[in-house]
Every structure is written in structure tokens, then in C-alpha cells.
Structure 1
């Protein structure tokens, strides 16, 4: 992780439009894609927001018919994807406009997979399992954190198996992302904070990934700096701050979608599937210990992150305090008084072997800066109980 990385890298990105009112381009671009009818994928909360009206108005103004699918919950399930794919097929849709947070956007990607590939969504879990391209997909994020609107990732839950399953494919990169800060103004405070924390962790893991490059480093550093400078207890009520957090989330997505993530996300996926806990919370809980574990593989990078989040690291005698500087800085930034133990969130000691196995099988672990062994991961979970 030293020197300037000159390895060959390939990058993927959707077309994107940023700024106040960007969401109003949904109809124009649907028309540009020669669509006559789209599936408007959203959730019940977003559907009640006033700011969604300009989106549907733009569809109507451009002669685009639409069918609404809003039966989506946090951590979208395989059943919700399959229900949405039937709605797409039965209503004669030709494209998808997805409006919402990461759960909605991931579900929309799953619907798109089935629309053009048939079968069951579980058949596409893994890396590059999608044969046929999806129908045109326009994403309008209502949170700043998941970056699903620009990434080649989707996370779909199987509640019977208690798993969160990762699908990674260039086919999942949306055709267009309309990044408008206005939807953030109606976010509940807890979701706004956890989403911004998710964006920050995306940027951190992408920056320290073994798949990083000068291009992804640029996005990561800008994202971390913008979040550190603009996060506030009610940032979503400040038009300037919320736009900058949206842009920081965009940068984080362009980083991790191309560089990969790491052990934080592998553990968070395992915990989220097993317990149903919020993804941002799961990532926060494991972050400090994972940084401690990874320090020997990327000390300079974590030290640089600590400089943005906590203190002037040039004055530190060594790197031993860096994990705590980052962890304590995150707690202060996002208003956490403590880091809850996993035992208080439904994790039992006898669950750990299953969580370890799921973590080891998660694709994100491949780009962790240090290659974990099973006993390493087991020790991390035991320390977090």
C-alpha cells in the first residue's frame, strides 16, 4: 500500500446529474430511453413525501405511463424482488425509475435482473452471474449513504435463511442517477445520521482496499473530508450541508464500486442477515476492531483518515492510537455515547461459528487490505460480544 499504484484498473460509473431539482429530469430521460411505461419503485414512506410529485409530474409531462411498486421494507427480501418483478411483467413496463434509499434501489436492481433474465433472484447471488443486461434504470436516491445509485452492488436479504446476499455485476450500474439534495430534507434524523456514517465507512474501506487506485483514492479522500467538515447534528436541515453530504456519498460510491470494500462490510452483512440490525449500526460496531486488525497492512492510509476525523496525526509517536482516534471521532461526529456489545443486540456465543463462516464467504472480504483467517474473524466477534 506504499508508493503510487500504477496497476491496470477498470472503472464503471453511471451518467449522473446533480443539483436542486435534478429529480425532475426523470421524465425527460425516460423518454430519451424510448420508454412508454416504467415501474416506479419506492416505499410507503417516500410515497407520502411531497417532493415525489415533481417526479411523477415529469413522467406524465413526457408521456410516460407508470405503475407504482412500493411493497419494500428495510433490507429488501428475495420475496419483495420477485413480487416486484411480477409487477413489472404484468403491467407491461419497459424500464424502472427507483426513488428511495438503498433498500429501494437494491430491490429495483433485483427486479431489473429478473425482468431480463427470468428465474429466481437467488440464482444471481455472487459476482458476474447476470447474463442479460437489465432494462433501463433511473435512480433517485433519497438518502446520502448507500450509493446504490452509482454502484455495481446490490444486497438482497433472505429472511428464511437469515442472510444478506451480495450481487456484484457491471450490469447493476444504473443508466442514470439523479442526485437531488431536496429529498434529504424530510429524512428522520436517525436515518440521516446512519446513512452519512455508511457513506463515510464506504469511503474508508474503499480507500484502504487492496483494489484501490489513484482514481478511487481521489474520490475517497474528497468524500471523507467533505463528510468530516459538513456533518452536524441536523445537517439535513441545512441546504448547503445536505448537498455536500450527497456529493460525498456520490464520491464514496464511485470509490468503493471500483475499489471494493472489506472486512467491515463482510461482518456487517453477516450480522445484518442474522439479527436484522441496521447496516450502519452493524458497520459502526465492528469498525474500530477491524481497523485495529488491518493496521499492519495499511498504516499510512488509516493514519491519513485519522487526520481528517480526529487529530493531527503528524504528532503521534506511533500508530497504536489510530483505531481509537477514528472510533472516538466517529462516535462524536454521529452522536453515539457508546458502542453497544453484540450480546445486547441478540448475538449469542453459539452464533459465532455461523457468523464467521458467513463473513468468510462474503465477497467484500476479498479486497480487505489484510487477508483474514477464520480464527482471526472468530476473535473479532468474541471481542465484540
Structure 2
């Protein structure tokens, strides 16, 4: 077994200024969320950047489509950057990571084995503005093609630097803080019970869970210190799952794009039922989590999970739900073959996944 954190992490108030220490680069390609331009963080970052030429792409769409990314990669081949910077949420960072592969290795195809990807040379910097995806330290980039999410996985797209400036997540709307916070929580929980979990990943996952438990609801109220701690907890959870991988909840969420819900809300919708399914094999580890978080019993942990995920039971568009149910067998089979499902503590057949999907949707007050 092994454990690694290849990314250099810079954190704290005004840590964005670290950019001025990066010298020797000629051309930068910058991907930015519109909010980062609006709040002044993009311009601040650019003021620290010392390059001869730069190209900036502002307004990256959420849950990026494959065709959009390949268009950006074509742009990269025109610009020829030696440094790529992403400032924004997980989608912005995922786009930058995917562009790095398609830019340097145009032969790449979705589903290609990681060992076939050659060494990539472009420096990648991730500056997250949301607190959930962990993309700033992970080896994965998630793209959507034909309504299905696909993961590009390679150590070659792990960012070289992650800058966690505490000011950025304070600008998140409440609903984004909620969705991303749930994503970070599920990252840490799935990493902790994963078949690849280790002493090292467990310690980091537990600390992430503790910070989330103590700061989740405060962060929804806009508490600045809680927002900062949730930001760091997200990265901790990212380090944990990069090493231990994820599980069935994320496998199911990746295949449920048809529901047209945010990734965080999909995790909130499915996780209580995945946790229930896993209990047969993972009760001991869930009990450890409960004890570490200060709960008197595993039942109290389950109640906490229900408490933070209950918002997912808000109404889902009926026509969307019906379309999903019409395709549930096909979607369940795809989820059963998602690579992440293999790391789940309990093996799930597609029929069992279908049952979890149905339970999750049936629980909605529709």
C-alpha cells in the first residue's frame, strides 16, 4: 500500500499572493468562474502573476461537457501555455485538469487506462472557491458526455499547487455551501470505509469529518471561521479519497445526471441509503466514526446524516423523475460497472443499486 500528497498546499488569509512566488513561466492559460471576476479575486491573482503572455477564459459552465473541454484544449494548443491556473469551483478545476491532458496528449480517449497517459509537463495550479470537490488535490476530473458523467483518472493531472485562500469560500451562496459541504462529508465517509482505506487515509478522513460536523451548520449561516474550516476540511477529504478512493454513493451519483440535480444534492439523496446498505460490512467503521465525532451511538451518527441530507427530499421535477425511473435498469447497470463501486465495502449488484435508487426517489415528497 502507499499514501501520497503530491500537491503543495498553501493556505490561509490572503494566500492568493503566493502566485507572485511562481517565476520562470512564459505563458499562462487561466480558467475562472464568473464569480471570481465579480468579487475581484481573478484580477488580484492576475496582478501577482509574472508571465509574458496570458489567455483568460471566464464563465466555465457547471458540470462541463466533453465537447466544451475539447474546444478549450484546442484553444490551449493555440496559446501553448506552460502554466494553467484554475480559480473557481470544482467544475472550473476539473476543466483545467482535463484540458491539461487533451492539450498535451490529444490521443487521449475517455476510459483510457491511466498507465497509457505519458508524463505531462504543464504546471497546474488550483485555487478553489467552493468547499467540497477536493479536486484541488485529486487525480480525477469528471466530465459529462451524452448525459453520463465520466471520470478521467491520472496522477498526471494532480495539481502541482493548491491555494486555499480563506476569503474565497466566504462568498459562496448558502445553497452552494450546503451542496459542497455534503460532497466533502461523503468523500470522507466513503474514503473511511473504502476497501483501500489505510491508517494514513483514515486519520485524515476522520479529521475532515470532525471539522465538517462542527462547522457545517455554522457555515450555512455565513460564519467566516466556519467557512474557512470547511474549506480546509474539503481538501483533507480530497487527500483521503485520492488515496483510499470513493464508493457506491459516488458511483450512483455519477450515473444519475438525468435527475438534473447538483452533484452534492445527489450525494445527499443517495448516501443515507448507501450507508444503510453498507452497514452489513462496515458497521465497525461507522461505529468508529460515531465515537470519534462524539456521538453516543451509531444511531446518533445516522440521525446526523439524515439531518444534514434531509434537504435533498425537496421536490424533484415529476417528469424528470419519471424519465429516470423509465431508465433505472440501464442506469443501475452502468453504476454497477463504475470503477468506484469496486472500492465500496459491500459489493452491490445492479438489482441492489436499482433498489437503492428507487428508495432514494421514493423518499422524496413527490
What's the secondary structure of 1:330's corresponding residue?
A: helix
Tell me if structure 2 keeps the 8 A contact 1:184–1:236.
Answer: no
Tell whether 2:69 aligns with 1:84.
no
Q: Distance in 1 between matches of 2:4 and 2:320?
A: 38
Q: Which residue of 2 aligns with 1:293?
A: 277
Q: 1:270 aligns with which of 255, 260, 263?
A: 255
- CA distance 1:244–1:234, shift in 2 (3 Å): closer
Q: Distance in 2 between matches of 1:86 and 1:194?
A: 32
Q: CA deviation at 1:170?
A: 1.0
Which residues in structure 2 correspond to 1:111-260 (within 5 Å)? 111-119=99-107, 122-123=109-110, 127-158=114-145, 161-235=146-220, 237-260=222-245
- Runs (4 or more) in structure 1 with deviation over 6 Å come to none
Q: Distance in 2 between matches of 1:64 and 1:191?
A: 36
Tell me if structure 1 keeps the 8 A contact 2:272–2:305.
Answer: no
What's the secondary structure of 1:212's corresponding residue?
A: coil
Q: Which residue of 1 aligns with 2:364?
A: none
Q: Which residue of 1 aligns with 2:55?
A: 67
Q: Distance in 1 between matches of 2:94 and 2:8?
A: 18
Tell me if structure 2 keeps the 8 A contact 1:155–1:164.
Answer: yes
Tell me if structure 1 keeps the 8 A contact 2:34–2:58.
Answer: yes
Q: Deviations over 1:344-363 (max 9, x none)?
A: 75353221111112201211
Q: Unaligned 5+ residue runs, structure 2?
A: 362-366
Tell me if structure 2 keeps the 8 A contact 1:113–1:134.
Answer: no
Query: TM-score when scaled to structure 2?
Result: 0.91
Q: Which residue of 1 aligns with 2:295?
A: 311
Q: Which residue of 2 aligns with 1:330?
A: 305
Q: Distance in 2 between matches of 1:179 and 1:366?
A: 31
- CA distance 1:366–1:40, shift in 2 (3 Å): same
Q: Larger deviation: 373-382 or 165-174?
A: 373-382
Tell me if structure 1 keeps the 8 A contact 2:336–2:350.
Answer: yes
Q: CA deviation at 1:113?
A: 0.3
Query: TM-score when scaled to structure 1?
Result: 0.87
Tell whether 2:332 aligns with 1:356.
yes
Q: CA deviation at 1:199?
A: 0.6
Q: Which residue of 2 aligns with 1:101?
A: 89
Q: Deviations over 1:210-234 (max 9, x none)?
A: 1000000010000000111112254
Tell me if structure 2 keeps the 8 A contact 1:69–1:87.
Answer: no
Aligned length: 360
Q: Which residue of 2 aligns with 1:3?
A: none
Q: Which residue of 1 aligns with 2:12?
A: 19
Q: CA deviation at 1:22?
A: 1.3
Q: Distance in 2 between matches of 1:265 and 1:361?
A: 12
- CA distance 1:191–1:100, shift in 2 (3 Å): same
Q: Distance in 2 between matches of 1:337 and 1:15?
A: 35
Q: Which residue of 2 aligns with 1:5?
A: none
Tell me if structure 2 keeps the 8 A contact 1:124–1:130.
Answer: no
